[in-house]
Amino acid sequence: MLDLLTKIPAIGSRLRLYQLARFYGTVGMLLRGGIPLVSAMGMASGLLQGALRQGLERAIQNVKEGQQVSQALEVNGLATEISARLVLVGERSGNLGEIMERVASFHDQELATWVEWFSKLFEPALMILMGLTVGAIVVLMYLPIFELAENIR
């Protein structure tokens, strides 16, 4: 089911962003708790599905080989443009855990904005659909009464 939803362009990109937000938040929390980076990334791998999980496995291997975390995440499709830059800043400043939590917070805010926009768009359409349904039910209930009245004449 999730694989089917990820193929829909707007929803798939949001699901990817949601998974990345959870991943960054978890890794950031683990790093701030003193867990080494590679172990933290491995622990958080269960939060990712399909291609993202495979990308994480490649990114972990790249980090083990000495590649920068920001570069490994970006190359393997685990970072947006903004998150890659923020992670690079976190690497250079030594606050990778805090920065990853900020990236997660940023992605969460972006998702919340999208959900709010979608609900504002979807609510009127849902109200119209409900109105048409109720109207159809009322017409279908009164139709036999009108036919009966016409036959009595």
Q: Is 124 exposed, middle or buried (0-12, 13-18, 19+ CB in 10 A)?
A: exposed
What is the distance of C-alpha 8 from the center of its chain?
A: 13
Q: Using the structure block, give the residue that is written with the tokens 């926009």.
A: 117
Which CATH number characterizes residue 69's domain? Answer: 1.20.81.30
Residue 140 lies in a domain: no
- CB atoms under 10 Å from CB of 121, counted, come to 9
- What pTM, to 2 d.p., does this model score? 0.77
From first to last of the 153 residues of the chain, give the pLDDT tens digit. Answer: 566 666 777 777 888 889 999 999 999 999 999 999 999 999 998 888 888 899 999 999 999 999 899 899 999 989 888 999 999 999 999 889 999 999 999 999 999 999 898 888 889 889 999 999 999 999 999 888 888 888 886
Structural contact between residues 23 and 44, judged by C-beta atoms closer than 8 angstroms: yes
**φ, ψ for residue 145 (rounded to 5)?**
-65, -45
Residue 135 lies in a domain: no
Q: Is 4 exposed, middle or buried (0-12, 13-18, 19+ CB in 10 A)?
A: exposed
Residue 87 lies in a domain: yes
**Geometric angle at alpha carbon 61, from 37 and 28, rounded to 5°:** 25
User: Residue 25 sits in which domain range?
Assistant: 2-122
